[in-house]
Structure formats: C-alpha cells, structure tokens
C-alpha cells in the first residue's frame, strides 16, 4: 500500500468547491430520482412495487461491498467519482426512455455504491489533519441540503410533470459530472492494487469479523444499521400512510415530510454534539428508544401540521442516536482495521439492514395488510430491537 500524501489544500480552495458541488448535485439527483421512480410505478397502478425500488438500489451496495473500496484506492478518486456519476446518469436516462424503474434504479445504485468510498477517501488526500474534520462536516452539510432539496423538488416536479422531473434529474447528474472535472486529479493511493475477487472477499470478511468481535464497534454497527433500516422503511411507508391518514394523494406531501425528518436529524446531530461524547456514548440510546414510540404515534395523527412536527421529532431522535454511534465506530475502526475498511463494513451492515427492513415492509404490502397495522407493527418491532440492544449494552457496562 502506498503512503497517503495530503496536498494540505486550503479549506475553501477551488478543488474543494468543485468537490462540494459534485456531491451536492449528485445527492440531489439521487433523492429526486427516487421520488420520480415512485411516481412512475404509482401512475402504472403498481404501488406495491414502491418498496422494491429501494431494494433494487441497496442490493448493489451489498454485492459490491468487498470491491468498491479497492476500486476507490486503485484509481484516481476524482475519476472514480466521474465514472460513478456517469453510471447514475445512464440509469436516469434509461428510466426516462421507458426502462423498468426497478432495473434503472438498481443501475443508479451501482453508481452510488462505487461513488461512496471515493467521495470520502479523497478528502484525506486533499487536506491535512488540521482541517480534515471541518472538511468532512462541509461534505455532510452539502449532502443534507441536497437531500432536503432533492426530495422536495422531486415531489413538486413529479406532481407537475414527470418529463420535467427527469429533466431536472439528468441536469443534476450532468452538473455533478461537470464539477468532477475540476476536482484535483490526485494519484491513486494504491495503484498496484490487486482485484482478485476471492482474495478481496476474504479480506472483507476478516475486517467484518474484527469489528463484530469488538464490543463497541459491534454495538455501533448494530445501532446504525437499525437506524438506516428503519429510516429507509419510513421514507417508503410515508407514500402509503399520507393518503390513508391525511387523505392527500400527491407526491409532494410525503416528500416534504421526508424533508422534515432530515431537518430533525440535523437538530438531533447538533444536540448530540453538545450533550454526548465518546465517554458518555450510552446517552445516545435514549434517542433510539424514543424512535419506536414516536413512530407508533403516527397511528393517532390525521393533520398535516402534526405529521410534520412528529417527523421532525422522529428525525431528532434518530440524529441523537446515530451520530454518536458513527463517531464511536470511526474511532474503533481507526484503532483496528482502519477508518476506510470500517466504512466499507458499515455500509455493508447498514444496507443488509435496509434490505431486511424494507423486505418485511414489502411483504406486508403484498399481503394486503393495512397501513395502520403496518405502522403499529413497525413501531413495536423497532422498540423491541432497540430495547434489546440497550439491554445488552447496559449489561456489558
């Protein structure tokens, strides 16, 4: 493995502006195209396919988990990001041309799986340790704003014109690819990397084993996986819950409520930064324990204003829960297998959880179970899972 050399670039250098722009437009398009894909299957009278859209997107993350990190390190990361954005663009164009939304969104998932390790890995090549944390914060801020705008604009455009929605998605992916051209073309961190599939799979399995044998990293992996599995399911469930509970049938309302959850996550993350440290990480369990009851409260909500407030509260609990656990995993990963390998394992575990949670929701939809019963079951399962995780953690301490 070659030595990682940092350029020690200024935080607001043109290269960083280009990187933030590429991430912003790529994340915006990722979220807008999901809303557009949901609008397509609903217009085709196939609402039961909505959960399968998310399944098709996360499946490539699981299949490619052992390989994408090696790709990110084996080639210049800016070029990896460019290639990944072009794959996403191809998927959006295929969906626009009439291809199966499931297949096209799955192809976008392939691009996203390749893109993820490269966008974070390039930061350590561009910046020294003195500004690396702030650079990561700027990247996260760009992503959060893009998610908010992506779901809101995606919902509004999908309700007015699917053609305009896809024009926006294609334009955003195109702008992301264009911005990629201005990211510094740094040398590959591991230009001599091998790509022997079985060897990579064995290395990945070893990293997975190391993290799950460590009590702190296992706790973090399980907790963040539960958060992302439940969060992804809630995003999809809103498209069935809003018409049933609020009697609103557009695509913009559930998209806006998804945005309210994101706002809550930001507020919860800010609260976690003030109230929770690695030494007091068990405080994060309070946020996790409140997620189940907050989702159960959806059963009693029939007004949009109350729904929006509850979504912010759910997001707040989630942010309070997941942010400290992410920090704990990064620290333990750095001490054991390296932060990059820890990120690959975390992505794998979280996407497995998404597949399982969304799969259960899809089964409930296919079985014709009412959305009220589904929400109740989802809240109870989440409460039981986080409760068990809490009991195991406190017993250990």
Query: Residue 5 pLDDT > 60, yes or no?
Result: no
pLDDT band at 1 (very low <50, low <70, confident <90, very high): very low
Q: Which of 63-77, 360-374, 380-394 is predicted with the least confidence, judged by mean pLDDT? A: 63-77
pLDDT of residue 290: 96
Residue ranges of domains in the chain, CATH in brackets: 1-195 (1.20.1250.20), 203-397 (1.20.1250.20)
92/71 Cα distance (integer angstroms): 23
389/146 Cα distance (integer angstroms): 32
Give the residue among 62, 170, 37, 171 at the shortest CA–CA distance from 113: 62
pLDDT of residue 395: 82
What the block records as the tokens of 136 is 């990561």
Write out pLDDT tens, residues 161-176: 888 999 999 999 999 9
194/1 Cα distance (integer angstroms): 11
* Choice between 129 and 367, residue whose per-residue pLDDT is larger: 367
Write out pLDDT tens, residues 184-197: 888 776 666 667 88
pLDDT of residue 169: 93
Would you say 246 and 253 are in contact if contact means Cβ atoms under 8 Å apart?
yes
Mean pLDDT on 266-271 = 86
Give the residue among 379, 167, 169, 209 at the shortest CA–CA distance from 294: 379
Would you say 244 and 285 are in contact if contact means Cβ atoms under 8 Å apart?
no
149/164 Cα distance (integer angstroms): 15
Give the residue among 193, 196, 225 at the shortest CA–CA distance from 208: 225
CA 325 to chain centre: 15
* Largest Cα span, the chain: 59
> pTM for the whole thing?
0.80
Query: Residue 107 pLDDT > 90, yes or no?
Result: yes
Give the residue among 170, 145, 146, 234 at the shortest CA–CA distance from 36: 170
Mean pLDDT on 266-287 = 87
Q: What is the DSSP string of 250-284?
A: -SHHHHHHHHHHHHHHHHHHHHHHHH--GGGGGGH
Give the residue among 143, 112, 366 at the shortest CA–CA distance from 104: 112
pLDDT of residue 132: 64
Residues 6+ apart with CB under 8 A from 251: 35, 38, 39, 42, 154, 155, 158, 159, 239
144/278 Cα distance (integer angstroms): 24
pLDDT of residue 334: 65
Residues 6+ apart with CB under 8 A from 152: 252, 255, 256, 259
Q: Which of 3-12, 135-144, 372-381 is predicted with the least confidence, judged by mean pLDDT? A: 3-12
Mean pLDDT on 262-275 = 86
Spell out the SS3 assignment of 217-230: HHHHHHHHHHHHHH
pLDDT of residue 76: 85
What the block records as the tokens of 232 is 């992804």
Q: What angle do CA 273, 380, 315 make, to 5 degrees?
A: 30
Q: What angle do CA 297, 302, 303 make, to 5 degrees?
A: 110
Q: Which of 77-81, 111-115, 243-247, 277-281 is predicted with the least confidence, judged by mean pLDDT? A: 277-281
What 8-state DSSP symbol labels residue 297?
Answer: G
pLDDT of residue 45: 87
169/163 Cα distance (integer angstroms): 10
The position carrying tokens 């992506």 is 150
Query: Residue 2 pLDDT > 50, yes or no?
Result: no
Query: Residue 296 pLDDT > 50, yes or no?
Result: yes
What the block records as the tokens of 147 is 């998610």
Share of the chain above pLDDT 90, in %: 45
Write out pLDDT tens, residues 32-75: 999 999 989 888 888 888 888 988 999 999 999 888 877 877 78
Q: What is the DSSP string of 90-112?
A: HHHHHHHTT--HHHHHHHHHHHH
Mean pLDDT, all residues of the chain: 87
Write out pLDDT tens, residues 340-362: 677 778 889 999 999 999 999 99
What the block records as the tokens of 270 is 């800010």
Instruction: Provide the terminal-to-terminal Cα distance of the chain, rounded to the nearest Å.
Output: 38
- From residue 77, give the alpha-carbon distance in Å to each of 30, 166, 183, 184: 20, 27, 9, 9
240/357 Cα distance (integer angstroms): 16
């Amino acid at each position: 493995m070659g030595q990682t050399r940092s350029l020690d670039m200024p935080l607001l250098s043109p290269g960083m502006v280009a990187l933030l722009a590429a991430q912003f437009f790529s994340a915006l398009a990722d979220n807008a195209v999901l809303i557009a894909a949901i609008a397509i299957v609903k217009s085709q009278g196939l609402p039961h396919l909505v959960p399968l859209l998310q399944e098709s997107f996360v499946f490539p993350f699981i299949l490619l988990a052992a390989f994408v990190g090696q790709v990110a390190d084996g080639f210049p990361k800016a070029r990896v990001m460019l290639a990944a954005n072009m794959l996403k663009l191809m998927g959006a164009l295929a969906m626009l041309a009439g291809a199966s939304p499931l297949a096209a969104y799955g192809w976008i998932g392939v691009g996203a799986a390749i893109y993820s390790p490269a966008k974070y890995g390039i930061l350590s090549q561009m910046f020294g340790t003195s500004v690396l944390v702030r650079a990561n914060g700027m990247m996260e801020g760009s992503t959060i704003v893009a998610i908010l705008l992506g779901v809101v604009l995606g919902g509004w455009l999908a309700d007015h014109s699917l053609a305009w929605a896809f024009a926006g998605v294609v334009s955003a992916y195109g702008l992301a690819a264009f911005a990629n051209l201005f990211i510094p073309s740094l040398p590959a961190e591991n230009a001599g990397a091998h790509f022997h599939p079985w060897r990579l799979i064995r290395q990945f399995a070893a990293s997975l084993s190391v993290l799950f044998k460590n009590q702190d990293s296992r706790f973090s992996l399980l907790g963040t996986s539960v958060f992302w599995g439940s969060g992804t399911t809630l995003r999809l469930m809103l498209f069935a819950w809003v018409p049933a509970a609020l009697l609103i049938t557009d695509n913009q309302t559930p998209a806006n409520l998804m945005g309210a959850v994101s706002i809550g996550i930001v507020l919860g993350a800010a609260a976690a930064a003030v109230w929770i440290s690695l030494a007091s990480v068990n405080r994060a369990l309070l946020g996790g324990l409140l997620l189940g009851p907050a989702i159960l409260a959806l059963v009693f909500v029939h007004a949009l204003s109350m729904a929006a407030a509850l979504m912010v509260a759910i997001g707040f609990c989630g942010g309070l829960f997941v942010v400290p656990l992410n920090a704990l995993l990064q620290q333990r990963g750095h001490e054991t297998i390296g932060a990059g390998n820890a990120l690959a394992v975390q992505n794998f575990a979280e996407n497995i959880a998404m597949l399982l949670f969304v799969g259960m929701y899809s089964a409930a939809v296919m079985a014709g179970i009412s959305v009220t019963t589904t929400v109740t079951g989802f809240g109870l399962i989440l409460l039981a899972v986080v409760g068990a995780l809490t009991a195991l953690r406190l017993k250990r301490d």
